[in-house]
Amino acid sequence: MKRVLQSYIQWREDEDEMDMTETMTTANDMNGTATMTTTNDTNGTATMTTANDTNVTATMTTANDTNGTATMTTENDTNVTTTMTTANDRNVTAMMTTP
């Protein structure tokens, strides 16, 4: 069993990204790929969490969001592909959960 615990936190203040927190966590994954991308966000929090997944691809993408919260959670999934995309949103909360 391959165990991966991966945390990526990035704080950047430039003309495209201000006061943004990016967090991606994968725990206890086997042959899984977890990808999160945030682009051109301001005051946004993007969070993706995958836990106890096997042969799972989880992808979340947020682009050109302002004051938005995007959350995707996959837990205890087997052979599942989970995708959430938010684009060009303002003052939007997007949440997808697969238990």
- What pLDDT is stored for residue 55 in this prediction? 72
Query: In angstroms, rounded to a whole number, what is the distance separating the alpha carbons of residues 45 and 66?
Result: 10
- The verdict on residue 71 lying in a domain is yes
Question: Is 98 a domain residue?
Answer: no
**Is residue 76, in this structure, part of any structural domain at all?**
yes
Chain center to CA of 23: 7
pLDDT in tens, 33-71: 777 667 666 666 677 777 777 777 777 777 776 766 777
Residue 19: count other Cβ atoms within 10 Å of its Cβ. 12
Who's near 14: CB < 8 A, 6+ residues apart?
none
99 falls within a domain: no
In a domain, 25, yes or no: yes
Report how many domains make up the chain: 1
Would you say residue 45 lies in a domain? Answer: yes
Contact 19, 43 (CB under 8 A): yes
At residue 86, does pLDDT exceed 60? yes
Domain encompassing residue 43: 6-93
**Contact call for residues 82 and 98 (beta carbons, < 8 A):** yes
Is residue 48 included in any domain, yes or no? yes
- pLDDT, tens digit (0-9, with 9 covering 90-100), for 5-35: 333 333 333 444 455 566 666 676 677 777 7
Q: Global pTM?
A: 0.46
Question: pLDDT digit string (tens) for 72-81?
Answer: 777 777 776 6
